[in-house]
């Protein structure tokens, strides 16, 4: 078959390649070429007649057409095929671009809109999904005016007007009216020659909720840390990024000066090695460190370190507890425990000493009384000398028991009275002039108006003991003894450790006896008030023990301070007298006539001694071995006088006196004991007994007590008849 004329198929080729569909047109043109013997071949194979490349697409044809083709026709064919290949390549590129845009639009996690001055001209599917609207509804001015919360609209338009590029968060409103937190990222762009704004919209409701919870958690952590700790450090990589609590009060720095500095700067050198454990994120626990104040002072602290967040960033949180107060409390607790143990030990020794002294006094009553009776009846000089030696020895023993009772707080302490301290000390100085060290310079600094409320006799005993001890502490060396006194209302905290009464604010007199002697070490200070403990070669160890008991009985306190080689100071704190008066002379007691006497005492030797002593002087004696027997005797007979022991099993002396007075019996009563403590005396109604006889006693003291009681009959108001 003959090929059509060249002009004919060239015209047909041009028409075929000019169709609307580039791919279909190219295929039709290639069929026309195939009809004239031109086929599509592999590009670069060497068999091509014509090769065309447009926009990455290549087309190779061969062999040459069967019809003669001149150069002009070949150029025409190449031009037509070049345009057709370019059109087909453009369509493929456009389709690929459209597919990519569709994929990006549908797969995007963010809504994207393009708008001009608030008028949306395009948006992707994710935007329509976020707003809950149809694509056509997300055009124009509706999205910005209806999908932004009214309270956020002014800030959105302000950013649009300023050309702001960046990220910010607003509250979005869906078509159904529900709200969500939206993060907008806006950027200026161009569409052709027209400036536009491209905005990416992301739903961050969950993120905002998580951030809010995180901030709430951080706030709770801060509050908890500030409540549980004195100071809180927030550190990141060893650098302080935040502080909380009383930071300035603890370390002396302001909070803003601490931020940005290494935590190491606030630690003492000894705590530097422990910083790794404190800041290690995988290490949790409690650490003992020492902080360094701005003044250079070291502050012991306890650090509790945990890993948390601050503003969303991992942060090491270090809670600081100031241990200074705890250490002071521990020290005070230890000191108090030692003080309680010491007081308990002294109290135990006092109970023991008091019990021994009480029983020994009863024995001395028999010894002294019977020796006195024998001395009256005996005329042989040698025998009288032996009896007097017995009496002297028993009297010295009575003095020791008196000191033991004083230590136990059971000594005979008369009702306190105003005592002019200056006069008392002056008299003691004169009395002790021969016994104090001749090398001691005794200096008294006592104002004339210092008046103490005390028993002058026992206070003299205390001061004599202290002055004698001060003199002995000089050890024959030249030294100084000072006696000072002053009025106080609020004693210092040093009196918290004093022995004796509890010291509270009030009217007090402080008496100091200070020497420049050898002083005492801590071990000696711990034991100086124990009975029978002494550092003297010939001492019996009861002087200071008795002094402590006497001071306690006078509602006072005593403390001692000493440094080896630098002397000792004993300090007394006694109640101050609010007024002063002269001590009245005792009323002379007239001697009475012998009468009937009821003796109530549980010790047979005491009753026997009293019986013999009083019967020799014409008294009629009746005995009772206990309180119950004594009350029974009162029901059967009438007596002119009663002598009642205070300490007895069953009914004690105070109960017997009370019951006697309740029965309306006005018989004079003599109470007798080694001591009359405050608790027992409080049980007795004022005026219910007429005399007190301290054991052990001499015959003269017994007779004196009997006469005093008979000269002071009980008042009717002390008796309450049934």
Q: How confident is the model at residue 139, as a pLDDT?
A: 85
Between 293 and 338, residue with greater pLDDT: 293
Task: Look up the CATH architecture of domain 208-322.
Answer: 2-Layer Sandwich (3.30)
Q: For 431, how many CA atoms within 13 A lie in the half-sphere containing its CB? A: 13
> What percent of the chain is predicted at pLDDT more than 70?
81
**Domain spans of the chain, in order of start:** 6-105, 108-203, 208-322, 417-575, 596-718
Confidence of residue 579 (pLDDT cuts 50, 70, 90): very low
Confidence of residue 442 (pLDDT cuts 50, 70, 90): confident
Give the start-end residues of each E strand in 63-129: 111-116, 119-123
Q: For 71, how many CA atoms within 13 A lie in the half-sphere containing its CB? A: 0
Q: How confident is the model at residue 209, as a pLDDT?
A: 82
Closest CA to 73 of 3, 1, 8: 8
State residue 53 phi and psi, 5-degree precision.
-135, 120
Helices (H) and strands (E) in the chain, counts: 21, 26
CATH number for the domain formed by residue range(s) 417-575: 3.30.565.10
User: How confident is the model over 499-510, as a mean pLDDT?
Assistant: 84
Q: How confident is the model at residue 582, as a pLDDT?
A: 34
- Strand 119-123 relative to strand 111-116: parallel, antiparallel, unpaired? antiparallel
Burial letters 593-612, b for 16+ CB under 10 A, else e: eeeebbbbbbbeebbbbbbe
Which residues, 6+ apart, have CB-to-CB distance to 117 below 8 Å? 160
Integer Cα distance of 63 and 47 in angstroms: 7
Tokens of 330: 């521990």
> What percent of the chain is predicted at pLDDT more than 90?
8
Which range among 75-79, 189-193, 298-302, 385-389 has the greatest average pLDDT? 298-302
Which residues, 6+ apart, have CB-to-CB distance to 677 below 8 Å? 409, 410
Integer Cα distance of 529 and 525 in angstroms: 8
Task: Look up the CATH architecture of domain 596-718.
Answer: 3-Layer(aba) Sandwich (3.40)
The model's pLDDT over 669-719, given as tens digits with 9 standing for 90+, comes to 999 887 666 566 677 787 788 888 888 787 888 888 898 888 877 766 555
Q: Is the pLDDT of residue 588 over 50?
A: no
User: How confident is the model over 542-558, as a mean pLDDT?
Assistant: 79
Integer Cα distance of 517 and 473 in angstroms: 5
Model pTM above 0.85: no
Integer Cα distance of 233 and 222 in angstroms: 10
The model's pLDDT over 281-291, given as tens digits with 9 standing for 90+, comes to 566 667 788 88
The model's pLDDT over 367-407, given as tens digits with 9 standing for 90+, comes to 777 777 787 777 788 787 777 778 777 776 666 566 555 54
Q: Are 366 and 417 in contact (CB under 8 A)?
A: no
Q: How confident is the model at residue 344, as a pLDDT?
A: 61
- Alpha carbon distances (Å) from 285 to 217, 322, 544, 552, 639: 20, 17, 53, 51, 83
Integer Cα distance of 487 and 469 in angstroms: 25
Same CATH fold, 208-322 and 108-203? yes
Which range among 253-267, 388-402, 619-633, 683-697 has the greatest average pLDDT? 619-633
Integer Cα distance of 281 and 232 in angstroms: 17
Q: How confident is the model at residue 529, as a pLDDT?
A: 77
Q: How crowded is residue 37: how many other Cβ atoms within 10 Å of its Cβ?
A: 13
Q: For 139, how many CA atoms within 13 A lie in the half-sphere containing its CB? A: 6
The model's pLDDT over 507-518, given as tens digits with 9 standing for 90+, comes to 899 999 999 888
Confidence of residue 644 (pLDDT cuts 50, 70, 90): very high
Instruction: Determine the distance from the C-alpha atom of residue 284 to the mean position of all C-alpha atoms in its chain, rounded to a whole number.
Output: 23
Which residues, 6+ apart, have CB-to-CB distance to 270 below 8 Å? 290
The topology (CATH level 3) of 108-203 is: Beta-Lactamase (3.30.450)
State residue 544 phi and psi, 5-degree precision.
-70, -35
- Alpha carbon distances (Å) from 464 to 226, 499, 537, 543: 59, 19, 19, 9
The model's pLDDT over 178-203, given as tens digits with 9 standing for 90+, comes to 999 999 988 888 877 788 888 888 88
State residue 380 phi and psi, 5-degree precision.
-75, 125
User: How confident is the model over 357-371, as a mean pLDDT?
Assistant: 72
Q: For 550, how many CA atoms within 13 A lie in the half-sphere containing its CB? A: 27
User: How confident is the model over 68-85, as a mean pLDDT?
Assistant: 79
Q: How confident is the model at residue 304, as a pLDDT?
A: 81
Q: How confident is the model at residue 402, as a pLDDT?
A: 61
Q: How confident is the model at residue 387, as a pLDDT?
A: 77
Q: How confident is the model at residue 597, as a pLDDT?
A: 94
């Amino acid at each position: 078959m003959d090929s059509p004329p060249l002009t004919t198929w060239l015209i047909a080729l041009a028409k075929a390649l000019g169709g609307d569909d580039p791919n279909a047109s190219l295929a039709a043109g290639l069929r026309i070429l195939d009809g004239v013997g031109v086929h599509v071949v592999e590009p670069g194979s060497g068999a091509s007649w014509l090769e065309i490349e447009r926009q990455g697409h290549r087309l190779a044809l061969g062999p040459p057409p069967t019809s003669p083709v001149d150069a002009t026709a070949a150029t025409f064919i190449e031009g037509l095929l070049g345009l057709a290949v370019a059109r087909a390549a453009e369509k493929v590129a456009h389709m690929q671009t459209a597919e990519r845009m569709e994929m990006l639009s549908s797969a995007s996690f963010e809504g994207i809109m393009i708008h001009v001055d608030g008028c949306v001209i395009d948006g992707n599917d994710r935007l329509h999904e976020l707003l809950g609207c149809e694509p056509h509804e997300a055009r124009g001015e509706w999205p910005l005016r209806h999908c932004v919360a009214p309270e956020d609209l002014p800030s959105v338009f302000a950013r649009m007007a300023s050309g702001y590029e960046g990220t910010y968060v607003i509250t979005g409103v869906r078509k159904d009216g529900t709200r969500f937190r939206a993060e907008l990222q806006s950027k200026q762009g161009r569409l052709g020659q027209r400036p536009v704004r491209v905005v990416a919209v992301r739903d961050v409701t969950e993120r905002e909720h998580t951030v809010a919870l995180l901030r709430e958690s951080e706030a709770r952590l801060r509050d908890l840390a500030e409540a549980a700790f004195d100071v809180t450090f927030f550190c990141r990589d060893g650098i302080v990024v935040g502080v909380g609590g009383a930071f300035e009060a603890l370390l002396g720095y302001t909070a803003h000066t601490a931020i940005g500095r290494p935590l190491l700067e606030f630690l003492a050198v000894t705590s530097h090695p422990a910083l790794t454990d404190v800041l290690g994120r995988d290490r949790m626990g409690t650490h003992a460190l020492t902080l360094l104040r701005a003044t250079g002072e070291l502050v012991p602290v306890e650090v509790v370190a945990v890993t948390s967040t601050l503003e969303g960033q991992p942060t090491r949180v270090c809670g600081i507890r100031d241990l200074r107060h705890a250490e002071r409390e521990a020290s005070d607790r230890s000191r108090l425990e030692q003080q309680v143990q010491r007081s308990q030990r002294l109290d135990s020794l006092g109970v023991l000493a008091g019990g021994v002294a009480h029983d020994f006094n009863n024995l001395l009553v028999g010894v002294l009384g019977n020796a006195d009776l024998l001395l009256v009846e005996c005329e042989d000089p040698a025998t009288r000398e032996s009896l007097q030696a017995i009496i002297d020895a028993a009297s010295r023993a009575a003095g020791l028991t008196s000191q033991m009772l004083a230590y136990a707080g059971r000594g005979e302490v008369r009702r306190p009275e105003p005592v002019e301290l200056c006069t008392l000390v002056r008299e003691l100085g004169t009395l002790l002039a021969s016994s104090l060290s001749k090398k001691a310079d005794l200096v008294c600094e006592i104002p004339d108006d210092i008046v103490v409320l005390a028993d002058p006799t026992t206070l003299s005993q205390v001061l004599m003991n202290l002055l004698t001890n001060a003199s002995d502490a000089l050890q024959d060396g030249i030294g100084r003894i000072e006696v000072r006194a002053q009025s106080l209302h609020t004693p210092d905290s040093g009196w918290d450790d004093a022995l004796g009464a509890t010291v509270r604010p009030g009217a007090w007199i402080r008496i100091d006896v200070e020497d420049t002697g050898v002083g005492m070490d801590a071990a000696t200070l711990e034991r100086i008030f124990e009975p029978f403990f002494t550092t003297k070669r010939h001492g019996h160890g009861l002087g200071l023990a008795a002094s402590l008991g006497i001071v306690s009985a006078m509602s006072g306190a005593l403390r001692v301070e000493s440094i080896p080689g630098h002397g000792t100071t004993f300090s007394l704190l006694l109640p101050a007298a609010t007024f002063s008066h002269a001590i009245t002379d005792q009323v002379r007691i007239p001697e009475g006539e012998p009468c009937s006497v009821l003796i109530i005492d549980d010790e047979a030797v005491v009753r026997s001694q009293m019986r013999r002593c009083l019967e020799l002087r014409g008294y009629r004696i009746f005995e009772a071995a206990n309180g119950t027997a004594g009350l029974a005797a009162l029901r059967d007979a009438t007596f002119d006088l009663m002598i009642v022991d205070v300490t007895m099993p069953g009914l004690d002396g105070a109960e017997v006196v009370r019951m006697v007075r309740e029965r309306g019996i006005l018989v004079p009563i003599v109470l007798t004991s080694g001591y009359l403590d405050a608790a027992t005396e409080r049980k007795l109604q004022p005026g219910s007994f007429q005399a007190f006889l301290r054991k052990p006693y001499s015959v003269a003291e017994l007779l004196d007590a009997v006469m005093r009681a008979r000269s002071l009959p009980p008042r009717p108001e002390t008796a309450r008849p049934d």
